[in-house]
Amino acid sequence: MKKIILVLMLIVMLSFSACNNNNAETGVTNTYIGGSEGIKMEFAPDAPPATTADGEQQNFNIVVQLSNKGESDVETKDAKVTIKGFLPEAFGKTKADLEINPDEKIEKRIRTPDGTIIEPPYIEAIVEDLEYQNKEPGNINLPIRAEICYLYETNVATKLCIKEDMLKQEDDDICEINSNRDVSSSGAPVQISKVSQTGAGRDKTRFTFTIANVDTGKVYKENTDCSPSTTNENKVYAEILGLEGSEVKCTGLQGGTKEENGYVTLSGGTPRDVTCTATFAEDQRTDRLQTFQIRLSYNYNEFIEQPIEIVYTPEE
């Protein structure tokens, strides 16, 4: 009986503790599904086929299925699939024929209020009626590569601890200035892996966030064609949203319209830190947790590849 009473008392104490810790400092509401993918590509079965005949004897289609595994819609104009790996004329096509925009918007994944995750349908990018033109002395193999360049966004929700005096810390304060902040991030191939906060003065606080490419593709400046150039490669546009009533200045951002936005260069694909200082007027310095957002915009480039065998057929 004593053991049962002790167990019941322990359960009550743990429940009471959980209720007391149920405050805003326990974390950011998990707004997003999360994940490290954007657009996933797959060839449709037998499109392209494993083999085709030479000498204009057999035609086939290339069908690329595009599935959005992240949480940013991609409009038709903002995605381009390019088929590479061979001379277009060898299959009776031009370079332009092998550059396709999907017919429909590539819709994002959605989580409903009851927690159900809705997976969007895949969208197809199709090149029809390819036919190998030449006669070959024997079988040859060529690569069929589908490469995509698309515009994408990452949205991050987090919080700052704001106080009347940013340099003071008391045991019973509503939140702690010098701490790592919880982060809720939308599913995307570029992520913010960490947000940390420190005091920077009585009226200001400093926060640092880390941007990283966490998928296998390449990052390019938004609204470009993913062409290799030093001005476009590894560029991510970052902007701070939701800190109205404060003056935000960031280091590590270049070429923006204000001091709280601009481009980050992920040199060599390594993560990059951005540090910002938010200064609050006296009437804005009330003890609270202040939610805000970080938005990242970029073009992303990936490819898939499979071989096709050109089969020699003897002339009759």
Residues 6+ away with beta carbon under 8 Å from 271: 193, 210, 211, 212
Provide the token pair at 285.
């310095």
Q: Do domains 39-151+302-311 and 153-299 have the same CATH topology?
A: yes
Cis link prior to 189 (omega < 30° from 0)? Answer: no
DSSP string over 26-62: G-----S---S--EEEEEBTTBS-SEEESSS--EEEE
- How far is 165 from 65, CA to CA, in rounded Å? 55
pLDDT for residue 16 is more than 50:
no
Is pLDDT at 27 greater than 60 in this prediction?
no
pLDDT digits (tens, 9 = 90+) for 138-185: 999 999 999 999 999 999 999 999 999 999 988 889 999 999 999 999
Q: Among 24-33, 184-193, 260-269, name the one with the lowest average pLDDT.
A: 24-33
Percent with pLDDT over 90 in the chain: 80
Q: What ranges do the domains of the chain cover? A: 39-151+302-311, 153-299
pLDDT of residue 229: 87
Tell me the average pLDDT of the chain: 90
Class of domain 39-151+302-311: mainly beta
pLDDT at position 29 = 57
Q: Residue 79: how many CB atoms within 10 A of its CB? A: 24
Instruction: Indicate if the alpha-carbon torsion angle 46, 51, 55, 57 is positive or negative.
Output: negative
pTM over 0.85: yes
Confidence of residue 22 (pLDDT cuts 50, 70, 90): very low
Residue of 204, 251, 190 whose CA lies nearest to 37: 190
The burial of 187, by beta-carbon neighbours within 10 Å (0-12 exposed, 13-18 middle, 19 or more buried), is given as: buried
Report the CATH fold assignment for 153-299.
Answer: Immunoglobulin-like (2.60.40)
Q: Cα–Cα distances in Å, from 224 out to 143, 220, 236, 296?
A: 26, 7, 12, 15
pLDDT digits 0-9 by tens, 210-249: 999 999 999 999 999 898 888 899 999 999 999 988 999 9
